[in-house]
Amino acid sequence: MASLKLPYMATAALSGGLFGAGLYVSQMVDPLKVLRFLDFGAIPSGGWDPSLAFVIGPAIVVMFIAIRLGRRRDAPLFDSSFHEPEYRRVDGRLIGGAAMFGIGWGMAGICPGPAISLIAFMPDNLWIFLAAMFAGSLAGSVIVPSGHARRLADAQ
Amino acid sequence: MESFTPLTAAIGGGLIGLATAVLWLGNGRIAGISGIFGQLLPPAQTVVWRLVFLVALVAATFGAAWLFPGLGMGGEVPAQLVAAPASWGVPTPVWLAIAGLLTGIGTKIGNGCTSGHGVCGLARLSLRSLVAVIVFFSVAIVTVAVTGIV
């Protein structure tokens, strides 16, 4: 199994590190900044902060190039195959889940990446959010039936 | 502090893209945080790399804040989460617990979050991810409008 080798772990560490730096530099870690971006109601008054719209474009472009490069190979550098999500259907679970996440994101301005990276600053109540997010994730795997859960897990 | 920050946002976005690219080309894994986080418990046999990734993520956030203080968070003003809107009469810890619960359940059932669907999925031209992004983004905008939290 490739997954305990040093290059594999170093890659995971490098990726996590770049991710954390990106979340900080882009200011995605700041819940209020995120909420001000989501506050489209402030557009007429000029109070809208569109900054975070500039985060996703460069991220997608870089990843798109990586996906293209990967397509020319049979396998990634340190594992035997690409773990490409296999589940393709747009179904009620996808839409319902995304809607629930949207409510949570709009309530707190924290998506899962920033939730973890905020551990670096230990703001009040962060542990409550993290514990609830973890509990929710566990509850979600109970709600989704088992065969389906396994396919979803494989696709992640 | 200037509130409109497109340049640092774009640089940060590039770093996030690089992070997902490294994990994909190196280990063939999608850097979706809800997926990495949501499979930290057995029976997932891939707990170790997930932990390594998340620890590095927190450490790098800390390091970046030390190198560039006050840019994202943790400068002179102590980092804080938002308070529940006063008009709703819900204590902030309860508000955040509900938000966290919805985020956890939603990203598990919907199989991804801002990174897994938003960055990786859209870069893979996945229809599922496009639908998910449109839904969670619109719902979040409506939620902010309805709650009046800003």
pLDDT digits (tens, 9 = 90+) for A15-25: 999 999 999 99
Query: Which of B134, B116, B141 shows the shortest CA–CA distance to A59?
Result: B116
Asked if residues A70 and B24 have their Cβ atoms less than 8 Å apart, the reply is: yes
Residue B47 near chain A (CB below 8 Å): no
- B84-89 long-range Cβ contacts below 8 angstroms, 24+ apart: B84/B149, B85/B147, B85/B148, B85/B149, B87/B148, B88/B147
What does pTM read for this prediction?
0.94
Q: Would residue B1 count as lying in a domain? A: no
Residue of B nearest to A31 (CA): B81
Mean pLDDT value of segment A73-99: 93
| Residue A3 confidence (pLDDT) | 55
Return the closest-CA partner of residue B146 out of A31, A39, A48, A37: A39
Residue B96 lies in a domain: yes
- Is B22 a domain residue? yes
Residues from chain A contacting residue B91 (CB–CB below 8 Å): none
A chain contacts of residue B144, beta-carbon cutoff 8 Å: 35, 38-41, 106
Partner-chain contact A120 B101, CB within 8 Å: no
How do residues A5-16 score in pLDDT, each as one tens digit?
899 999 999 999
Q: What is residue A143's predicted lDDT score, i.e. its pLDDT? A: 78
Q: Does B85 touch chain A (CB under 8 A)?
A: no
**Each residue's pLDDT tens digit, A107-125:** 999 999 999 999 999 999 9
Q: Is B54 within a domain?
A: yes
How does pLDDT run across B9-48, given as a tens digit for each residue?
A: 999 999 999 999 999 999 999 999 999 988 887 666 689 9
Residue predicted with more confidence, B150 or A146:
B150
pLDDT of residue B40: 84
Domain around B143 = 6-147
Distance between A150 CA and the closest CA of chain B, angstroms = 10
- Helix H or strand E encompassing A142: helix A126-143
Q: How many residues does chain B have?
A: 150
Q: List the single residue in A51, A79, A99 with the smallest CB-CB distance to B28.
A: A79
Q: Do B46 and A3 touch (CB under 8 A)?
A: yes
CB A133 within 8 A of CB A112: yes
Pick from A30, A35, A123: CB nearest B144: A35
Q: How confident is the model at residue A4 (pLDDT cuts 50, 70, 90)?
A: low
Q: How does DSSP classify residue A144?
A: S
pLDDT per residue over B89-137, tens digit each?
Answer: 999 999 999 999 999 999 999 999 999 999 999 999 999 999 999 999 9
Tokens of A23: 């979340």
**Average pLDDT of B3-12?**
94
Q: Is residue B104 part of a domain?
A: yes
Q: Where are the beta strands (DSSP E) in chain A?
A: none
Q: What is the arithmetic mean of pLDDT over B5-11?
A: 96
Of B55, B120, B143, the CB nearest to A103: B143
Quick check: B27 and A79 CB within 8 A? yes
CB contact under 8 A, B81 and A108: yes
Question: Residue A117 in contact with residue B61, Cβ under 8 Å?
Answer: yes
The rounded percent of chain B whose pLDDT value lies above 70 is 93
For residue A56, give the nearest of A23, A99, A81 by alpha carbon.
A23
Q: Is B104 on the interface with A (CB under 8 A)?
A: yes
Q: Verify whether the Cβ–Cβ distance A116 to B3 is below 8 Å.
A: no
The C-alpha atoms of residue B10 and residue B1 are separated, in whole angstroms, by 18
Tokens of A8: 């594999």
Total domains, chain B? 1
B83: CB partners within 8 A, 6+ apart: B92, B95
Instruction: Calculate the average pLDDT of chain B.
Output: 92
